[in-house]
Amino acid sequence: MLWANWTGASTVPSRELYPHQWSWDSAFIAIGLRHLSPLRAQLELETLLRAQWGDGRVPHIVFNDAVPLDAYFPSPDFWRSTTAGRAAGAPAAVQTSGIVQPPAHALAAWLVHRADPGLSRARSFLARLRPRLAAWHRYLLCARDAGGAGLAAVVHPWEQGMDNSPCWDAPLSRVEPADPAAYRRADLDHGAPEDRPTDLDYGRYVRLAEAYRDRRYADDEGPGAFAVEDPAFNALLIVSEYALALIERELAADESESADMAADGIESDGLAESADERRGRADALTKTLVDRLWDPRRGLFLCRDLCAPGRDGELVPERGVTGLIPLVLPGLDRDITATLVRTACGPHFGLEGPARLVPSYDLTGPAFDPRRYWRGPAWFNTNWLLEKGLRLHGDHPRADGLRDALLDAAVTSGFAEYVDPYTARGSGARGFGWTAALALDLLL
């Protein structure tokens, strides 16, 4: 299946619905691919990072110019990366989107390196990726610190990756939808309308993306109409910062570091940091995440809507799976990890019944829908992260139970994009890249 989605330099999430390279998909896919072919896993990340912009952002889509323009919307002519993105340093040789996705890449790079350290050293894999990963994190921590507290903000729901989560309903309600006659959704050619975001959602996605593009993807003029500090996005940034610390340590100990360090076009001044500095930053970011987003009453992390009235915006009172993902953080207080596990097992997420897999949204919430994309279905990447989090904090029995449920659902659903959290009936694409990759990772 992973071979069927391989294009020669990277992996598509799905040949029909997502026929290009997606940023966070590639990170999860590389994590699984490393077990089959460490070389392909390295290439997956290298291909993505070659499309990095000069300001450090890693675009959420890298377009394959062999794919017809109308196969996916929004296509390259919408994003106009090589013209509108020029000031921000978009590459000339490849077309990309101008928004980002969750930064799981340094974590993936570290795991891929560990799968075959000999090959990695022979190809200077870490030495070549390190400046790009450092520039990526710096972009998020500086240019995207819209709230001024140190966390990265997303400026579009597609950036956080859980596109139509009810967590975005309030922040998105202020966005005037684009005229539906001005574009054509290609996703409905391949996906059932009841499984996908609505037309109203799409109108708002399009309006936000157009506005960012028309600002030439500049981040220094303020965040626009949508800016949210999200728990999962920032938790992955913190985990990746710890992984980058391990990469720095490995390279410092490695004489072959003098190998080709070129990262053409990337602003790389002052990017070299010691492993200790990075670890210190990751610890401090964990504290900031707790200060800004932890809700002790609900027992999970919430999203902070920075565009809501108030000096610091306001917390969105919706329980999304994003609020459980910080369980992957090693530096979380014991009380918080215990509370997160209780919340995952309780009525809102049902990990110990009645759900088979952790849903993307509160089972008891008014907006819950077991079929519609990120409004209830269970996804394999978020459940994989929770499995890792449970294991990290020593809860092996629950981690084993979740692993078995994930593997079972992956196989019986034909490696579906997402499944009904109660029945594990599949929806969306089949033969989905990260479902296959992460199932493989759990198996091996």
Q: How far is the CB of 324 from ligand DGY (least distance, A)?
A: 20
The nearer residue to ligand DGY, 53 or 373, going by C-beta atoms, is 373
The nearer residue to ligand DGY, 417 or 441, going by C-beta atoms, is 417
The nearer residue to ligand DGY, 178 or 289, going by C-beta atoms, is 178
The nearer residue to ligand DGY, 46 or 417, going by C-beta atoms, is 417
DSSP state of 176: P
Is 163 a known active-site residue?
Answer: yes
Write the CA distances from 214 to 78, 83, 267, integer angstroms: 11, 11, 23
| Residues in 309-328 that interact with ligand DGY by CB under 6 A | none
The nearer residue to ligand DGY, 42 or 97, going by C-beta atoms, is 97
Q: Is 195 in the site for ligand DGY (CB under 6 A)?
A: no
Q: Is 163 in the site for ligand DGY (CB under 6 A)?
A: yes
Nearest residue to ligand DGY, scored by beta-carbon proximity: 158
Q: How far is the CB of 373 from ligand DGY (least distance, A)?
A: 8
Is 395 a known active-site residue?
Answer: no
- What distance in Å separates the CA atoms of residue 206 and residue 268, rounded to the nearest whole number? 32
Among residues 158, 212, 368, 380, the one that binds ligand DGY under rule CB under 6 A: 158
- What distance in Å separates the CA atoms of residue 8 and residue 290, rounded to the nearest whole number? 42
For tokens 């309600």, the residue is 173
Q: How far is the CB of 60 from ligand DGY (least distance, A)?
A: 6
The one catalytic residue in 116, 159, 163, 420 is 163
- Structure token pair of residue 242: 């710890």
- What distance in Å separates the CA atoms of residue 360 and residue 25, rounded to the nearest whole number? 17
Write the CB contacts of 419 (distance below 8 Å, at least 6 apart in sequence).
Answer: 357, 377, 378, 409, 413, 425, 426, 427
Q: Strand, helix or coil at 183?
A: coil
Sign of CA dihedral 151, 221, 96, 181: positive
Amino acid type, 406: L
- What distance in Å separates the CA atoms of residue 83 and residue 171, rounded to the nearest whole number? 29
Q: Is 136 in the site for ligand DGY (CB under 6 A)?
A: no
Q: Report yes or no: 126 and 109 within 8 Å, Cβ to Cβ.
A: yes
How many residues lie near ligand DGY (CB under 6 A)? 4
For tokens 């992955």, the residue is 236
| Residues in 371-390 that interact with ligand DGY by CB under 6 A | none
The one catalytic residue in 46, 55, 250, 417 is 417
The residues annotated as belonging to the active site are 163, 417
Residues forming contacts to ligand DGY in the complex (CB under 6 A) are 60, 158, 163, 187
